[in-house]
Amino acid sequence: METMNLYDNLLEAVHYEYDTIRFFKKSEQREVSLVRHKSSGTLYVFKHFSGNSEVYRKLLAIYCPNLPQIMEVGEKEGRTALLEEYVQGDNLGEFLEGGLLTSREARQITRKLCSALWVLHSMGVVHRDVKPENIIIRGKEVVLIDFDASRIYKNNNREDTQILGTTGYAAPEQYGLSQSDGRADIYALGILLNIMLTGEHPSRKLAGGRMGRIVQRCTMVSPEKRYKNILHLMEIL
């Protein structure tokens, strides 16, 4: 009942107290827009979509410089509405248009993403869509955004209930082979690390030296052969 009331209150507040600046996405199933609070002038992202609010509700109480802050969440009859911090900056895809990164730069970005993922994994959340477009470079900070493909790991599930993720970054288990856990995000980080260093997927061109060996370990087909958890990868880096 409480989340239902929050849902109605949030829709009403966005209608009367916020101006819509622009839409990032708009369809029958999903609306994502940039809104400005009329009184304070603060910018937020407003999301309204078909799906449950479980992951976003877990993030309500979390503050991490490498994750956007979730301000309010409400759910009603299979629809979720939420307000989150607007993270200003270029996404990593745009950043990479300026050229490849040095090993040190790629390592720094990956370590900060490890920090974000450690927070998520500690709560049982698997992001499942780590890719350049979901990573914002904000000054010296790196922020992982967009939890629409994220899910809660459930001990009794043998496979994911919904196949989501981005081709090229999604781990094999995300295609229904088994239930994805934090090691699926490690797989995506390995692909990302290689792209930052070479501009190519590791299947086409593998980074050289130690970084290449790290990429190979991250992207093993079997999750059991990857780094055991995100902290292990962070320490290796």
What's the rounded mean pLDDT across residues 9-14? 96
Check if 185 is active-site: no
Domain residue ranges in the chain: 2-85, 90-236
Question: What does the pLDDT look like over 185-214, one tens digit per residue?
Answer: 999 999 999 999 999 999 999 999 999 999
Span 2-85: which CATH code? 3.30.200.20
Question: What does the pLDDT look like over 35-58, one tens digit per residue?
Answer: 999 999 999 999 999 999 999 999
Asked if the model's pLDDT at residue 169 lies above 80, the reply is: yes
pLDDT score, position 189: 97
List 8, 19, 90, 129, catalytic entry? 129
Question: What does the pLDDT look like over 101-127, one tens digit per residue?
Answer: 999 999 999 999 999 999 999 999 999
Question: What does the pLDDT look like over 134-157, one tens digit per residue?
Answer: 999 999 999 999 998 899 976 654
Asked if the model's pLDDT at residue 160 lies above 50, the reply is: no
Q: pLDDT > 90: what percent of the chain? A: 83
Given a contact cutoff of 8 angstroms between Cβ atoms, the answer to whether 211 and 225 are in contact is: no
Looking at the chain, the number of H-run helices and the number of E-run strands are 7, 10
pLDDT score, position 155: 62
Asked if the model's pLDDT at residue 219 lies above 80, the reply is: yes
CB pairs under 8 A, 24+ apart, for 138-142?
138/87, 138/88, 138/89, 139/89, 141/65, 141/66, 141/112, 142/66, 142/109, 142/112, 142/113, 142/116
Count of C-beta atoms within a 10 Å radius of residue 26: 10
pLDDT score, position 164: 47
Span 90-236: which CATH code? 1.10.510.10
- SS3 for 70-86, per residue? EEEEEEECCEEEEEEEC
pLDDT score, position 178: 63
pLDDT score, position 93: 95
Flag whether the pTM goes above 0.85.
yes
Instruction: Pick 154 or 59 by higher pLDDT.
Output: 59
Instruction: Pick 60 or 176 by higher pLDDT.
Output: 60
pLDDT score, position 180: 82
Asked if the model's pLDDT at residue 215 lies above 60, the reply is: yes
What's the rounded mean pLDDT across residues 156-167? 53
